[in-house]
Amino acid sequence: MKLVIATRRSRLALWQADHIKHRLEALHRGLSVETLALSTRGDELIDRRLDQAGGKGLFVKELEQAMSDGRADLAVHSIKDVPAELPPGFTLAAITAREDPRDVFVSRSYQKLAEMPRGASVGTSSLRRGAQIAERYPQLEIRLLRGNVDTRLAKLDRGEYDAIVLAVAGLERLGLAARATAHLEVDEMLPAPGQGALGIECLAARDDVAALLAPLADSATTACVRAERAVSRALGGSCSLPLAAYAECSEKLRLRALVASSDGKRVVRCDLEGEARDPEAAGERAAAALRAQGADEILGI
């Protein structure tokens, strides 16, 4: 049997697709897995923020089209890049064990955000990161930084930014962990929903593909990510919203979430416990708690 994985062309996306390819082939004797690398609008539009260009769906639409057309059987995504609502007919068949969910500070001149002087520039494409930095360090200049991980590091190295903020997992998957200057703990920089986990998408009707993917799913990560994505879904699911959500799962599920204005001047937070067997309920409760603190007004800013 042969499967085809649709993937973006970036080095990180190709690594992720190859990682899932090798795991599937190791699990299922006689299975052959190929990759189909595609360019997405999200990769091509590198001069605008995602919320201005059309949102997270820009990274997945072409991959979903390839599955609809029968050119691919599944797609591998960084979950944080997947819209909270999938199009009809698609499903996240497996969410893999989460790697490090944190963000990382990278700079050639400074050791941490708190050391940066007034007017120093921090590059990020994420409204979530920008708002949290602006809340704590309003003296810094938050500047748009788009492109893949290698492109962003190259811009930093050319001196276009004084520092940049990236996801730890991306650096580690590319063998670039040594570039990290300082890890940002989740209390300082709450992650995006699903950050650090891979999601594998296929057509909802492809029970055969879902069965092959099932052994890759991690139950604890899946519960956490479902809770985080439920917060986003309940609040509109748009990347035009500086929203963060992070869950941890042991006997109970602990979920922290926040919504912020893009300038970081208004931030509302919640921290609650829920049941791992019903993560969506925890996510909806978190969204309600944020709304009770004025999240709807912030959404309109």
Catalytic residues: 81
Would you say how long the chain is, in residues?
Answer: 301
Q: Where are the alpha helices (DSSP H) in 69-185?
A: 127-136, 149-157, 168-173
CA atoms of 185 and 187, how far apart (whole Å) = 5
**Contact status, residue 16 vs residue 76, Cβ threshold 8 Å:** yes
Work out the burial of residue 222: count CB atoms within 10 Å of its CB; fewer than 13 is exposed, 13-18 middle, 19 or more buried. buried
Q: In what order do the strands lie in the sheet with 121-124?
A: 141-144, 121-124, 163-167, 103-107, 182-184
CA 281 to each of CA 6, 22, 128, 224, 290: distance values in angstroms, whole numbers, following the listed order:
32, 35, 23, 12, 14
CB contact set of 72 (below 8 Å; sequence gap of 6+):
4, 5, 6, 36, 63, 66
Which segments of the chain are extended strands (E)? 2-8, 32-38, 74-78, 90-95, 103-107, 121-124, 141-144, 163-167, 182-184, 198-203, 243-249, 253-260, 267-274
